[in-house]
Structure 1
Amino acid sequence: MRDLSRLAAAACTLVLAVSGATPAQAAGSSRTSPDEQRILDLLGQARIVGDIDYQPGYDRDCDPGGCVFGEPWTDDHDGPKGRNGCTTREDVLLMQMKDIEMRWGSRCRIYEARLRDPYSGERMTWRDDGYFISIDHVYPLARAWHGGAWAWPLRKRIAFANDVRRELLAVSARTNQAKEADGPADWLPPWRRSHCDYVRRYVRVAVAWDLPLTTADADAVRRVAATC
């Protein structure tokens, strides 16, 4: 029995020597980090489907018969910051930009501020880049429509589209356009440092609003989580 124990210990030592890892590192490599565990816990609450079926009727523009998520950036919604006198776009900018200077006499309009695009890492200022700062829906509106929002009452869809706590991020227009209506399986931020935060946000929105993740999206989230 002692001989078997010695052989096992020797084999373990050989593996560690070949890999260059210490016993503590080898033990730690199999552990789940707190960030990974948070993402996996959220994913465990999510509704996962094979695919998201197409549903007719989606229209973000407010043409006659459209505007299925309400007027873009309306202040008339039931969520946080609703009916406070600022548009939702203004609310998000005020919440997420730094070193803000307001326009004289306004409580909503920014004169100057700084932003680091959470998707690309690009540093932006309002004075130089204001026209190139967009507000992204983390869980895309078109995807939400096909994933179940088509059956929601209009006021719920408006509340979702203006969810400043979870769903909306101030980002560069370029990364917002590149993302389009994709989920994590088809698009991740170009800035790798933001991958963990992005998938956590995406799953958090899906859970909060009972929207689905595809199997491919869930697999992508797990892959990212393993690096967190």
Structure 2
Amino acid sequence: MRQRIFSTLFALLAIFIVMNVTGIWPQFYDGLRQGVDYATSQEGRDLFESDLENAGEVPGAQAPAPSAPVGADHLAARATLETLTVKGKAAKTGYTREQFGPAWSDVDRNGCDTRNDILARDLVDETFKPGTNDCVVLTGTLPYEPYKGGTNVAFERGSKDNGLDAEHIVALGNAWISGAQQLDQATRTAFANDPLNLVMVDPGQNRAKGDRNAAEWLPKNTAYRCDYVSRQIEVKAKYSLAVTQPEKDAMTKVLDSCQ
């Protein structure tokens, strides 16, 4: 009998220690003080299960959000770069803008042309032309202009001072000499209107770039170069476009600097 009593006391002590260490005991004790019957009532069983689930939590504290691997996209870009065909530039013979379909087609059939879709995607506080079903963007603010690094850049349709360009990250001319001339018309049109390959930028930077590849031109804003090169690689992989050896070397150099 005495041994059984000691065994029972030891077991209860062990349970108390575990409950105290895990943080269950204070909540359990408060329940007892409030008259909760943990043994027989449904309320008591629900509270006990809740105590178990919340053991060790600090009141008011939020669980830390899982962190993504640093530079994961850039690491993926490096791997994808190794899959791209490396060869010299093809001749630009036959290239015209029309080879990539009508400018700013409505390829997704949402009633808005691609340029307005990208404006609506990238701007905040937009206003729209009345009667266009919120399609034609009249004004707005670009929170971050990636090529120069400006913030809160104003846009006003038709304004010489407050304009923005929908820029092809892989330029159409570069795509043509990288393999797009072998694509059919529908695929080239999709390429020219693919949101993955479009971003709103400063017009001067767009014109300065022209059809140049990464070996010949990079954004003035060095903080954006890793994302810029990574996006170029993603686009070229999607449409089976090639890179030149100097272009690949330049992309690799940029990716080497990415955090």
Given the two structures, how large is their TM-score scaled by the length of structure 2?
0.66
Aligned to 1:18: none
CA contact (8 A) 2:105 2:114 kept: yes
Q: Deviation string for 1:124-158 (max 9, x for gaps)?
A: 11238855211111111111112221122211111
Quickly say closer, same or farther: Cα 1:130–1:213, change in 2 above 3 A: farther
Larger Rg: 2
Q: Deviation string for 1:98-137 (max 9, x for gaps)?
A: 2323334431122331112111112311238855211111
Counterpart secondary structure, 1:45: coil
Quickly say closer, same or farther: Cα 1:197–1:130, change in 2 above 3 A: farther
Q: 1-side partners of 2:211 and 2:109: how far apart?
A: 28
Identity of aligned residues (%): 31
Counterpart secondary structure, 1:216: helix
Task: Tell me whether 1:117 sits opposite 2:139 in the alignment.
Answer: no
Q: 2-side partners of 1:173 and 1:45: how far apart?
A: 32
Q: 2-side partners of 1:163 and 1:33: how far apart?
A: 24
CA contact (8 A) 1:35 1:225 kept: no
| RMSD of aligned residue pairs (Cα, Å) | 1.9
Counterpart secondary structure, 2:118: helix
CA contact (8 A) 1:139 1:167 kept: yes
Aligned to 2:67: none
Quickly say closer, same or farther: Cα 1:37–1:129, change in 2 above 3 A: farther
Runs of 4+ off more than 4 Å: 128-131
**Letter paired with 2:115:** R
Counterpart secondary structure, 1:213: coil
Q: Deviation string for 1:34-87 (max 9, x for gaps)?
A: 4542221221222222x1121411111xxxxxx111110011x3xxxx211111
Q: 2-side partners of 1:58 and 1:47: how far apart?
A: 21
Q: 1-side partners of 2:72 and 2:100: how far apart?
A: 36
Given the two structures, how large is their TM-score scaled by the length of structure 1?
0.75
Aligned to 1:90: 116
Task: Tell me whether 1:189 sits opposite 2:219 in the alignment.
Answer: yes
Describe how 1:5-24 pairs up with structure 2 within 5 A: none
Aligned to 2:240: 210
**Letter paired with 1:186:** E
Aligned to 1:225: 255
Residue ranges of structure 1 left out of the alignment (5+ in a row):
1-31, 61-66
Counterpart secondary structure, 2:156: helix
Q: 2-side partners of 1:130 and 1:108: how far apart?
A: 18
Q: 1-side partners of 2:250 and 2:156: how far apart?
A: 37
Describe how 1:87-166 pairs up with structure 2 within 5 A: 87-106=113-132, 107-115=134-142, 116-123=144-151, 124-127=153-156, 131=160, 132-164=163-195, 166=196
